[in-house]
Structure formats: C-alpha cells, structure tokens
Amino acid sequence: MTDKPFESLPRHVAVIMDGNGRWAKKRGLPRSEGHIEGAKTFRRIGEYAGNLGIRHLTFYAFSTENWSRPEAEVKAIMSLFGDYLDEALRRLDEDKEKGIRLRFLGDKSRIDPALVSLMDTVEEATREMTKVNLNIAVNYGGRQEILQAAQSIARDVKSGALSPEEITEQTIEERLYTAGQPPVDLLIRPSGEQRLSNFLLWQCAYAEFWYSDVLWPDFTEADLDRALGAYAARSRRFGGL
C-alpha cells in the first residue's frame, strides 16, 4: 500500500470484478466460493479507495447477461448481495459517519422485490452523504442504460415537453443511472480480460484503462496503488494535442 499521496487521483474509478469463478476453479472449489471471496475483496478495496480520497466508485457486480449463468451460481450471487444489503443496513451509522452514499445502478425490475426494498432503504438512508459515492451495478447493462435514457427523452419529445433541437449530451447524461456524477476517469479490470463487457459505455468514453492478470479475489490494495500510479503517469488529452 502507498505511504504517500498520489500526484493525481481520478475522480471516478470503475472496477469490473472479474475472475471469481476462475479463482474457485483453480482451487477445486464451487464457483460460489469465488464470489464469496470476491465480495470480501470488494469491501476491502472499496473502503481503501474511499480513504485515499476517491470520490466516486462504481463496481460491476452483476450484468444483464449474467442471468444466463447456471441457476445455482445466480442464486449464490443474489444471496451474497442480500447479505451485503443486510450488512449495509447494520452499518448505516458507520457509513454515514464516513460520508458514504450507496447507489445501485441497473434495472431493478428483475431483482427479487425483497432485495429491491432493501436497496431502496439503503439508498434513501444514505442519500445526503457527500464524501464518497459508492455505486454497485446490479442487473446492469450499458446498452440497456442508454436505451432507457433514449426512451425517456422520446417520451418527452412526444409529449411536447422537449424538442429534438434541445437534446444535448447533458440531456442524455441526466437520464443515466450515474446522473450528477462525473464520467469515469479510470477503469480497472483484473483477471486478464481486456474488454468493457457492456459496462458504463457512455461514462467510459475517455476513461483510462488498466488491466491486470490478478483474479479479483486476489486483488489487493497494492494492486490498486499500481493502477492509480499508472493513471497519474498518463497524459490525458481528450482527443486534443
């Protein structure tokens, strides 16, 4: 872990928590065990990043495509998510003290209503927190997010509340799940894969990417330090010179 502050910290870091299943397979364990360890890593890395001063964190927990995985694995992931929500409710006072606002990005319509109720309770309870925005993407898809934003705009155009000429990038951004938050500065993907996997497609337009062969359950604070160090050393030109 770092013993000095970084010269330049990203405002918004996004993490694709990849490699849980492979971590378990390498050890002859059920895939669910990999997700259990991955959840522990999420808690540890999220807290460490917040303590470093990163204001916005988004973790990819479950995609719209992940429903196609074996039923037992999906149930295990959702059970872990329920455990996390229960823990979040128990730690509300602690999270409020740390200024952590919890938000859940994605389509809640397919998620168990009992979990949705817990999600809503946690979001409402931490709504006024301003130090760290901790986003968890659940049943999330980047294309689906942009589609629902487009549909929302189309409804306003149809009703006469908005004209096509008034539509700007800001119009779209205001209807994304991340409305009010800055775009992603740094995208981290462990496990050796090098693709976005339908994650924050709009928000990552000018993100710096950092890849690692480390499987997510083995990802450490030192790995995050390396990613942040690489980010600080890069020159971001946003299409300019």
- pLDDT, residue 240, reads 66
Predicted confidence (pLDDT) per residue in 188-229, tens digit: 999 999 999 999 999 999 999 999 999 999 999 999 999 999
Q: Is 18 among the residues known to form the active site?
A: yes
Q: Is 86 among the residues known to form the active site?
A: no
pLDDT above 80: residue 152: yes
pLDDT above 80: residue 2: no
52 CB contacts (<8 Å, ≥6 apart)? 2, 5, 6, 9, 228
List the one residue out of 189, 193, 221 whose CA is nearest residue 207: 189
Q: What is the pLDDT of the chain when averaged over all its residues?
A: 94
Predicted confidence (pLDDT) per residue in 37-51, tens digit: 999 999 999 999 999
pLDDT above 70: residue 241: no
Predicted confidence (pLDDT) per residue in 57-79, tens digit: 999 999 999 999 999 999 999 99
- Tell me the sheet residues that pair with 187: 14, 209
Hey, what are 133's tokens?
A: 């925005």
Angle at Cα 68 formed by Cα 114 and Cα 21, nearest 5°? 90
Name the residue type at position 6. Answer: F
Hey, what are 234's tokens?
A: 């890069």
User: Residues 83-107: what's their mean pLDDT?
Assistant: 93
pLDDT band at 83 (very low <50, low <70, confident <90, very high): very high
pLDDT above 80: residue 3: no
Q: How many residues does the chain have?
A: 241
User: Residues 140-163: what's their mean pLDDT?
Assistant: 98
Total Cβ atoms within 10 A of residue 194: 8
Hey, what are 134's tokens?
A: 């901790």
- Active-site residue, selected from the candidate residues 66, 198, 218, 225: 66
Quote the CA–CA distance of 188 and 192 in Å, as a whole number: 11
Domain 12-144+184-233, architecture per CATH: 3-Layer(aba) Sandwich (3.40)
List the one residue out of 43, 49, 76, 177 whose CA is nearest residue 123: 177
- Active-site residue, selected from the candidate residues 3, 18, 86, 139: 18
List the one residue out of 195, 187, 108, 182 whose CA is nearest residue 144: 108
In which order are the strands placed within the sheet that holds 208-211? 100-105, 132-140, 56-63, 12-16, 186-189, 208-211
Total Cβ atoms within 10 A of residue 181: 18
Q: How far is CA 241 from the centre of its chain?
A: 30
